[in-house]
Structure 1
Amino acid sequence: MNGLSASTARLRLRQYLVLTKPRVTQLAVFCAVIGMFLASPGLPPLDTIVFATIGIWLLAAAAFAVNCLIEQEVDARMARTRHRATARGDIPAGQTLATSGVLGGLGMLVLYHLVNPLTMWLTFATFVGYAIIYTVILKPRTPQNIVIGGLSGAMPPALGWAAVADAVPAQAWLLVLIIFVWTPPHFWALALYRRQDYVDSGLPMLPVTHGERYTRLQILLYSVALFGVTLLPYVINMSGLLYLAAAVILGAWFVAYAWRLWRAYSDELARRAFKFSILYLALLFGALLVDHWVG
């Protein structure tokens, strides 16, 4: 009986963890941490790094839990998401909302008292932007949802910068711009090979409303734009030749994937492009950090 109870408890804990979309949260927190290190000429205070990371993670997890709650019916119609506990009804709406409230409340307290109020308010605005403006208003109404709503997902570097500097200068917003332009080709690659999911869900995603060919063209155009945007840190003397080399190589690789999708589409190629886009962002920001330290 104890073994069964322990097994049930582990399953329920895993279900709650899935609510917070840990893989997406990890990438967001990683970009925030990069922002923290770039905001300081040397190493930022360790306590600021720790508490800002915890606070941003908690609020991001809270936002994703609300997203799962709002989209439980949509998730239930999609093969990719129907396993989620909210979609299956394993976790009641009240418990999901309470979980989000606790995580978000703790995150705000940590950021306000142990980091600074600016970071708390920016992170809370990001929470509202993703959980409410994107999920409730934009996602079910316009195929440009991922473009307009992408600003919320692009905010982590600015949050990290604010945590250390208590300010958000132009350099931080440039990092936000990079993620903002990266988001559409990243997400549309997923939407292409998961197109039937979005047909079933009823969401107006670009491959559904405008077709596969148009979406592939948009991926190519955004990828070229992304290549140009990622050169700006070097142009404004925010970074040096090491970052420039990484940006050119990674950007050319990214555009090559987009070009191949445009010329000869396959679901497998779109899946590989989506996976590479995640690695691309991590390597690009990692190169920016290494260049910052070396320089």
Structure 2
Amino acid sequence: MTKQAMVTGAVDQASWRDYLELCKPTVVALMILTSMVGMLLASPGLVPLEVMILGNLGIALCAGSAAVINHLVDRQIDLKMKRTLNRPVATGRIEPLKALAFSLVLGVAGMAILLAFINPVTAWLTMASLLGYAVIYTLFLKRATPQNIVIGGIAGAAPPLLGWTAVTGEIHGYGLLLVLIVFAWTPPHFWALAVHRKEDYANAEIPMLPVTHGERYTKIHIFLYTIILFAVSLLPFATGMMNWLYLLGAVVLGLGFLYWAGVLLFTEQKNAGIETFKYSIIYLMALFVIMLLDHYLLPISPLAAI
């Protein structure tokens, strides 16, 4: 059966799982984890339950809306990649117009929740993040430059700041520091996957760094960006935002990331790319959880009084 026949025969066979897949729930879950951490770090005590639930719901709906647009725009190239060829819009299980309507419903609902129950700062920052990912990155940067992940990474790095502003209603330096950590984490995270999926990106004619500059060049950059990430991850301690517990966790996790980046660069291990990618997810989740432990177990930073 041809791809076209598969698409034609699959229309209107969508289930709720297909619509859930459009929202990229795993990616959104990681974003909400960082958003929740941003909320909790912005408050010396517990965050009001209404803010915690409705704030994260609004952010999640908007993130899901942007993810649907990504499926919609990439439906042609998704058929050329093993990792994405079974996506609902690509195969035709969900028609493009239905996907677009679903995205609009999610986005409008998310913005309405944030405007009505949280605050305008969070709502408009979330909108900017949504447009940054769905329009600037997906429609333009992804196809235009091998630096797509670096430039477009700022949109995906926004959730911890959104969580912070949901509680405080204002942009704070510490919230921006959380964004900087995710921003520095994004290139080695995605480039490790790109090394593993180089042939897919080449077939889809997406100018990811391994395709345009080769694997060796990409691996060097992964290692260099991991060093940058290690340095950036120490800033919460250096600025008095975090205590020694966070410092210990950041150092251990950072050394682990450097280890895998080194394996990727200096060895010929077959699955080093995907293993580095998997560790990067563990790294970010663990780093933000350690932030919470430090925040609540050691609430007063010794540097904060300096």
Instruction: With the length of structure 1 as denominator, give the TM-score of the two structures.
Output: 0.96
Task: Give secondary structure in 1 for the equivalent of 2:135.
Answer: helix
State the distance in 1 between where 2:199 and 2:270 align: 12
Report the CA distance between 1:266 and its aligned residue: 3.2
Tell me which of 259, 262, 266 is aligned to 1:263: 266
Matches for 1:32-111 after TM superposition, within 5 Å: 32-111=35-114
Q: Deviations over 1:6-50 (max 9, x none)?
A: xx9995111111000000010001100100000001111111000
Question: Is contact 2:66-2:133 (8 Å) kept?
Answer: yes
> What is the CA–CA distance in structure 1 between the aligned matches of 2:236 and 2:12, rounded to whole Å?
48
Contact (CA 8 Å) 2:37, 2:289: kept in 1 or not? yes
Aligned with 2:290 (options 279, 287, 290): 287
SS of 1:81's equivalent in the other structure is coil
Letter in 2 for 1:213: R
Structure 1's consecutive aligned runs of 4 or more residues displaced over 4 angstroms after TM superposition are 8-11
Q: Letter of the aligned partner of 2:103 in structure 1?
A: S
Native 8 Å contact 1:51 1:114 kept in 2: yes
User: How far apart are 1:265 and its partner, in Å?
Assistant: 3.3
Aligned mate of 1:24, from 16, 22, 27: 27
Q: Equivalent of 2:124, from 121, 138, 141?
A: 121
Q: Is the 8 A contact 2:12 2:95 kept in 1?
A: no
Provide closer, same or farther for how the CA distance between residues 253 and 23 of structure 1 changes in structure 2, counting only shifts above 3 A: same
Partner of 1:220: 223
1:185: how far off?
0.3
Work out the percentage of aligned pairs sharing the same amino acid: 48
Q: Secondary structure of the equivalent of 2:143?
A: coil
From 234, 240, 246, the equivalent of 2:243 is 240
Letter of the 2:229 counterpart: L
Residue aligning to 1:152 = 155
User: Judging changes above 3 Å, is the alpha-carbon distance between structure 1 residues 46 and 247 closer, same or farther for their aligned structure 2 residues?
Assistant: same
- Preserved CA contact (<8 Å) 1:192 1:267: no
Structure 1: state its 5+ residue gaps: 1-7
How many residue pairs match? The answer is 288
Deviations 1:152-177, CA, capped at 9 Å, x for gaps: 00000000000000011110000000
Task: Name which of structure 1's ranges 156-165 and 257-266 shifts more when overlaid on structure 2.
Answer: 257-266
Q: Please give the alpha-carbon distance, in whole angstroms, between the structure 1 residues aligned to 2:283 and 2:40.
A: 19
TM-score w.r.t. structure 2 length? 0.92
| Aligned mates of 1:266, 1:107 — CA distance in 2 | 43
> Following the alignment from structure 1 to structure 2, what is the Cα–Cα distance between the partners of residues 266 and 108?
45
In the alignment, the residues of structure 2 paired with residue 227 and residue 122 of structure 1 have an alpha-carbon distance, to the nearest angstrom, of 27
Q: Which of these residues, 268, 272, 286, is aligned with residue 275 of structure 2?
A: 272
The RMSD of aligned alpha carbons is 1.2
